[in-house]
């Protein structure tokens, strides 16, 4: 709980403002409106022959007109619209091509309110083999303790089509120095550097002189990770002079290292996300252990070790709120992702402990550690909501670099939550994720929105940020396993693997000279067996990914699993643990390329529990080596993923 006088005053002001918020919500209720009315809850079904896209949405008896627009994904204007009937609930577009993406906007008018719906769709959109380069910025404080997990993360990124550029930085580094690392990577390859993943307490930029939550004691500079994604904008620290904020973090004066800009000085080029689990004392676990379990659940989600139902939960404690209708972020986005039937209004903490939802939206009068009526950080420290992607809105906590911040606390839970964002001022657009785009793509789209999409207030402001891994996608595919490479006696190599559990999966095969470079696709048509013969014998690394046609409430696209990697030397499969023992003790060894494994010991092959061996790992002769003292008696050892 917050205890300082300034924070207590902020909480009191938030409580008082909630009365005003509730009254504003009642204005809509008196007219018979609900928040869902402010969205056109559009979803799609598609077919190949003949090619067509069928859009549909629930009826609104109050509608006085609909206008439909269509554009390509990256077009910056909607163009002329098509007028539809007042009672329209569907539209069939037959002027479409298989393999091409289309984005639709449906605008609704009524006497008292307007509504918008957005959908990105297509018929069998092609597989994305390479996603570009991601700059991984790691807080050096934990680089050694999390070496195995970070190495596994890098391999997971490679396995999803990314090339990784990593930099370890100090917590006290200047934000400008960190940005210069990112800019140098971008300028060296501007066509392929796409994302920035900030892991740990990477230095936090602050910018602006505003209070997006409307509280006068919160006027000033807020955290601004968009700074790291803007490679060509001019950021200054010379004009803002505001010391009225109750929290010194938000006070902004010339020359203090906090930037002047409230509005982004230019469009953001890079998709930025942050996993910062420091300063969360409400949790029993240390910062490093919270970071470790985030990396674990990230890995498990990517590999489909657990699944969550494709549906979205909305827990709304604001209502219409004088027309701002914050929870429209849920109603509008979730319809595109799951259809109207997959969008559910419910209670967060009585639903999610036992029921899985891929997405959730919660809003209510808040403070730094709570979303009023939805959840708070103390509850998160002892529960594990079964939801992966989350959007929240309320007072204060959008300023996320605060102790026990509720959005960052969501990422610290043990098993499921992977991303969080403050969505309401402005609204977020995540509908592209229904067709395989990353959450980072949605973040950048929201940051750069200056009128293309309905945004409410604070569009293009510097506070818009993502908590979580920006490279995550919604629909993991179970990967193949057991990739083995051997020669076949005919001067070629033979790749064999165990099949993916996914029904209908084929396989894409890739090759690279090292993990540090991009993999190139070898087979133009998917392989439907579990073997492949590349020509010649070489030392390349090969990767196999399961591919399926993903059918969603948005459309259909070819979707790939994480890749499994191997070479002829067998350096990328399950590692072999060897032992050498003498009177002085012993040495346990396994290949140095075997990343993400922990050494564990027990006194039998079937113990009640295995314990981690904490000895320092030394690398020599391409082997990881752990020396055991002579005092260790008969023990059994294993290598395991965390």
Q: What is the pLDDT of residues 298-340, one digit of tens each?
A: 999 999 999 999 999 999 999 999 999 999 999 999 999 999 9
| pLDDT for 603 beyond 50 | yes
**CA pair distance 462, 266, nearest whole angstrom:** 10
Say if residue 163 is in the same domain as residue 239. yes
pLDDT tens for residues 349-391? 999 999 999 999 999 999 999 999 999 999 999 999 999 999 9
Q: Give me the CATH number covering residue 117.
A: 2.60.40.10
Say if residue 121 is in the same domain as residue 166. no
**CA pair distance 10, 369, nearest whole angstrom:** 12
**CA pair distance 272, 439, nearest whole angstrom:** 9
Which has more pLDDT, 217 or 30? 217
Say if residue 504 is in the same domain as residue 528. yes
- pLDDT bucket at 633, cuts 50 / 70 / 90: low
Domain final residue pick, 259, 281, 296:
296
Q: Are 65 and 29 in contact (CB under 8 A)?
A: no
549 is written with which tokens? Answer: 């046609």
**Lowest pLDDT segment from 111-115, 523-527, 608-612:** 608-612
Give me the sign of the Cα torsion angle 246, 249, 250, 252. positive
pLDDT tens for residues 88-113? 999 999 999 999 999 999 999 999 99
Say if residue 119 is in the same domain as residue 149. no
| pLDDT for 63 beyond 60 | yes
Say if residue 117 is in the same domain as residue 143. no
375: helix, coil or strand?
strand
Q: What is the DSSP letter of 263?
A: B
- Measure CA of the first residue to CA of the last residue in the chain; give whole Å: 32
- pLDDT bucket at 24, cuts 50 / 70 / 90: very low
What is the CA 330 to chain-centroid distance, rounded? 16
| pLDDT for 58 beyond 80 | yes
pLDDT at 18: 41
Q: What is the DSSP letter of 225?
A: T
**Which domain range does residue 591 map to?**
578-640
| pLDDT for 1 beyond 60 | no
- pLDDT bucket at 39, cuts 50 / 70 / 90: very high
**Lowest pLDDT segment from 23-37, 192-206, 352-366, 500-514:** 23-37
Which of these, 199, 185, 250, 243, lies nearest to 223 by C-alpha position? 250
DSSP secondary structure, 245-280, as one string: -SSGGG-B-TTSS-B--SB-SS---SEEEEE---S-
445: helix, coil or strand?
helix
Total of domains in the chain: 4
**CA pair distance 282, 370, nearest whole angstrom:** 13
- pLDDT bucket at 436, cuts 50 / 70 / 90: very high
Which of these, 147, 213, 160, lies nearest to 457 by C-alpha position? 213
73: helix, coil or strand?
coil
Note whether residue 322 is domain-resident.
no
**CA pair distance 642, 75, nearest whole angstrom:** 43
Note whether residue 635 is domain-resident.
yes
Q: Compute CA distances 149 → 134, 172, 626, 629, whole Å.
A: 17, 24, 18, 26
Say if residue 152 is in the same domain as residue 84. no
Q: What is the mean pLDDT of the chain?
A: 92
Beta bridge partners of 70: 104
């Amino acid at each position: 709980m917050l205890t300082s006088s300034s924070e207590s005053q902020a909480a009191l002001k938030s409580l008082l403002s909630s009365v005003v918020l509730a009254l504003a919500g009642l204005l809509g209720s008196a007219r018979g409106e609900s928040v869902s009315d402010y969205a056109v809850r559009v979803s799609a079904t598609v077919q190949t022959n003949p090619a067509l896209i069928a859009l549909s949405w629930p009826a609104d008896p109050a509608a006085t007109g609909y206008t439909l627009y269509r554009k390509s994904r990256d077009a910056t204007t909607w163009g002329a619209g098509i007028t539809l009937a007042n009672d329209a609930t569907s539209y069939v577009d037959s002027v479409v091509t298989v393999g091409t993406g289309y984005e639709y906007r449906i605008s609704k008018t009524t006497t008292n309110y307007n509504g918008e719906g957005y959908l990105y769709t297509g018929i069998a959109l092609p597989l994305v083999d390479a996603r570009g380069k991601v700059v991984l910025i790691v807080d050096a404080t934990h680089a050694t303790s999390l070496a195995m997990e970070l190495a596994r993360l890098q391999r997971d990124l490679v396995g999803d089509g990314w090339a990784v550029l990593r930099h370890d930085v100090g917590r006290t580094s200047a934000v400008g120095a960190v940005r210069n690392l990112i800019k140098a990577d971008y300028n060296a390859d501007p066509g392929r550097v796409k994302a920035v993943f900030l892991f740990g307490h990477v230095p936090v930029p602050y910018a602006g002189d505003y209070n997006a939550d409307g509280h006068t004691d919160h006027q000033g500079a807020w955290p601004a990770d968009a700074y790291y994604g803007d490679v060509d904008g001019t950021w200054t620290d010379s004009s803002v002079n505001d010391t009225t904020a109750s929290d010194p973090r938000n006070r902004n004066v010339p020359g203090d290292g906090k930037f002047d800009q409230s509005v982004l000085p230019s469009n953001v080029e890079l998709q930025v996300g942050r996993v910062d689990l420091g300063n969360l004392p409400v949790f029993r676990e240390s910062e490093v252990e919270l970071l470790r379990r985030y990396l674990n659940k990230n890995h498990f989600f990517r590999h489909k070790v657990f699944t969550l139902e494709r549906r979205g939960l909305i827990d709304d404690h604001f209502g219409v709120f004088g027309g701002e209708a914050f929870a429209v972020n849920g109603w509008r986005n979730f319809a595109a992702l799951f259809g109207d039937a997959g969008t559910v209004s419910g209670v967060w903490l009585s639903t999610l402990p036992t029921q899985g939802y891929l997405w959730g939206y919660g809003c209510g009068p808040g403070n730094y550690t709570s979303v009023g009526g939805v959840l708070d950080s103390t509850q998160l420290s002892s529960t594990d909501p079964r939801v992966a992607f989350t959007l929240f809105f309320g007072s204060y906590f959008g300023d996320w670099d605060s102790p026990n911040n509720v959005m960052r606390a969501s990422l610290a839970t043990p098993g499921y939550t992977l991303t969080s964002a403050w969505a309401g001022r402005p609204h977020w657009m995540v509908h592209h994720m229904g067709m395989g785009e990353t959450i980072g793509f949605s973040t950048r789209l929201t940051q750069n929105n200056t009128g293309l999409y309905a945004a409410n207030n604070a569009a293009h402001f510097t506070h818009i940020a993502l908590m979580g891994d920006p490279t995550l996608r919604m629909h993991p595919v179970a990967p193949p396993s057991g990739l083995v490479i051997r020669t076949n006696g005919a001067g070629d190599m033979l790749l064999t693997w165990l099949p993916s559990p996914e029904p209908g999966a084929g396989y894409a095969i890739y090759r690279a000279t090292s993990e540090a470079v991009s993999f190139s696709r070898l087979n133009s048509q998917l392989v439907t067996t579990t073997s492949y013969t590349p020509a010649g014998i070489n030392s390349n690394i090969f990767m196999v990914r399961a591919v399926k046609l993903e059918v969603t409430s948005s459309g259909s696209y070819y979707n790939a699993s994480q890749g499994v990697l191997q070479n002829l030397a067998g350096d990328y499969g399950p590692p072999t643990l060897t032992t050498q023992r003498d009177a002085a003790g012993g040495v346990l060894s396994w290949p140095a390329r075997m990343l993400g494994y922990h050494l564990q010991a027990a006194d039998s092959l079937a113990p009640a529990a295995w314990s981690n061996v904490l000895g320092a790992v030394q690398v020599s002769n391409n082997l990881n080596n752990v020396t055991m003292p002579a005092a260790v008696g008969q023990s059994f050892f294993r290598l395991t993923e965390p």
